[in-house]
């Protein structure tokens, strides 16, 4: 993870490493552009959803949003995901055929599993080699469009649309490449994008947007909003509630995502009374001790409920006997005034 607070010799060493890393990444991109490295094509439309920085710009909610949109428009859609930290990352495996989920979160990876639980009629295939996974998807499901989750840097597979997400509050981090900053590659490489989406943005007012290095390509804004609360009842069934179910209730929050602070702020915005919170690294693999500590902290804080993210919930809800009722708060995207325009551009690119 990049460092904003480094000073002195340490900052200089990080900067030198960033320059070296930037040079390596730039040459890798050029080798693909010059044809020294092969880019494979699939016989259908391919849309990549990715970002240029580390951290949670909202790729998974965007993938879900776009998959639902394309499915509603009548397209056969398949999602390809790396399955980061899942047991199938080095293989190509079908997580769901759009009807049945075949894997648990530990096997599939937390994000593919969450997408499989939230999407109906949309198969999901996981594996590091997106081309091989794409071939499997073509053979099994004959999709009209494949969505690549977190694939802006995955240059070995051709895509028809390159969507890049950027956090509106800090689109380029501190503008340094790893390890001095948060950029996965130099910012000028944004010129590979076809469409940019600024997440966590103000969508209530229309104003012009300028993003460096993207020229006249479309730029949209969206924000993350609370969706439904999810809870597992005594019969093991998932029950959904409005987020206001816990308004003014004492809640202990925990999460293992890229921006844990934002999650707690969202709960506070719903008028939940936060009695305490715990934050972990993104994709954290919770041990029983972690979960027992969370449960004890929640009880000691006088909370009446525990709230986490959907991504964390699916991994841990059945691991221990929780002493307090646990809920997961879902996230949805709202494009506001840009909603119809975004859909029209995606639809137009699907027929060209």
Q: What is the pLDDT of residues 145-192, one digit of tens each?
A: 999 999 999 999 999 999 999 999 889 988 999 999 999 999 999 999
Do the two domains 45-222+335-350 and 225-332 of this chain adopt the same fold? yes
Domain limits of the chain?
A: 45-222+335-350, 225-332
Over residues 279-329, the pLDDT tens digits come to: 999 989 999 999 999 999 999 999 999 999 999 999 999 899 999 999 999
Over residues 220-246, the pLDDT tens digits come to: 999 999 999 999 998 888 899 999 999
**Cα distance between residue 260 and residue 294, in whole Å:** 15
Specify the CATH architecture of the domain 45-222+335-350: 3-Layer(aba) Sandwich (3.40)
For the range 300-304, what are the long-range contacts, defined as Cβ-Cβ under 8 Å and sequence gap of 24 or more? 301/250, 301/252, 301/275, 301/276, 302/250, 302/275, 303/250, 303/251, 303/252, 303/275, 303/276, 304/249, 304/250, 304/251
Sign of the dihedral through C-alpha 252, 255, 260, 265: negative
pLDDT interval class at 51 (50, 70, 90): very high
Mean pLDDT, residues 186-214:
87
Beta-carbon contacts of residue 228 (< 8 Å; ≥ 6 apart): 240, 241, 242, 243, 330
3-state helix/strand/coil string of the chain: CCCCCCCHHHHHHHHHHHHHHHHHHHHHHHHHHHCCCCCECCCCEEEEEEECECCCCCHHHHHHHHHHHHHHCCCCEEEEECCCCCCCCCCCEEEECCCCECCCHHHHCHHHHHHHHHCCCCCEEECCCHHHHHHHHHHHHCCCEEEEECCCCCCCECCCEEEEEEECCCCCCCCCECCCCCECCCHHHHHHCCEEEEECCCCCCCCCCCCCCCCCCCEEECEEEEEEEEEECCCCCEEEECHHHHCCCEEEEEECCCCHHHHHHHHHHCCCEEEEEEECCCCCCCCHHHHHHHHHHHHHCCCCEEEEEHHHHHHHCCCCCCCCCEEEEEEEEECHHHHHHHHHHHHHHHCC
Kindly state the tokens that stand for 266.
């969202």
The yes-or-no verdict on residue 118 having pLDDT over 80 is yes
Instruction: List the binding residues.
Output: 53-60
| Average pLDDT of every residue of the chain | 93
pLDDT greater at residue 204 or residue 9? 9
Mean pLDDT, residues 120-141:
96
**Cα distance between residue 147 and residue 112, in whole Å:** 12
Residue-level pLDDT at 295:
98
Instruction: List the binding residues for ATP.
Output: 53-60
Does CATH number 1.20.1300 belong to domain 225-332?
Answer: no
Residue-level pLDDT at 2:
58
């Amino acid at each position: 993870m990049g460092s904003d607070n480094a000073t002195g010799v340490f900052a200089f060493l990080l900067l030198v490493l960033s320059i070296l890393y930037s040079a390596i990444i730039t040459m890798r991109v050029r080798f693909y552009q010059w044809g020294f490295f092969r880019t494979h094509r699939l016989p259908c439309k391919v849309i990549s959803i990715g970002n240029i920085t580390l951290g949670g710009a909202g790729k998974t909610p965007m993938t879900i949003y776009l998959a639902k949109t394309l499915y509603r428009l009548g397209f056969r859609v398949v999602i390809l995901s790396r399955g980061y930290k899942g047991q199938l990352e080095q293989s190509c495996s079908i997580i769901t055929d759009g009807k049945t989920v075949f894997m648990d979160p530990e096997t599939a990876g937390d994000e593919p599993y969450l997408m499989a639980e939230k999407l109906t009629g949309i198969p999901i295939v996981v594996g590091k080699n997106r081309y091989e996974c794409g071939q499997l998807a073509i053979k099994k499901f004959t999709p009209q469009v494949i969505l690549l989750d977190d694939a802006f840097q995955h240059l070995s597979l051709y895509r028809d649309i390159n969507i890049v997400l950027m956090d509106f509050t800090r689109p380029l981090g501190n503008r340094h490449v790893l390890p001095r900053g948060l950029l996965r590659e130099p910012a000028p490489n944004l010129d590979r994008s076809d469409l940019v989406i600024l997440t966590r943005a103000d969508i209530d007012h229309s104003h012009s947007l300028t993003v460096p290095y993207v020229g006249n390509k479309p730029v949209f804004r969206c924000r993350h909003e609370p969706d439904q609360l999810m809870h597992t009842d005594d019969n093991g069934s998932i029950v959904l509630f409005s987020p206001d179910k816990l308004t003014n209730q004492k809640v202990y929050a925990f999460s293992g995502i890229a921006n844990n602070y934002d999650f707690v702020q969202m709960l506070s915005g719903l008028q939940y009374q936060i009695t305490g919170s715990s934050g972990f690294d993104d994709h954290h693999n919770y041990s029983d001790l972690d979960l027992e500590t969370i449960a004890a902290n929640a009880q000691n804080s006088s909370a009446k409920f525990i709230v986490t993210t959907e991504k964390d919930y699916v991994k841990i809800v059945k691991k221990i006997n929780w002493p307090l009722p646990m809920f997961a708060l879902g996230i949805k995207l709202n494009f506001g005034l840009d909603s119809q325009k975004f859909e029209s551009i995606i639809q137009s690119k699907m027929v060209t």
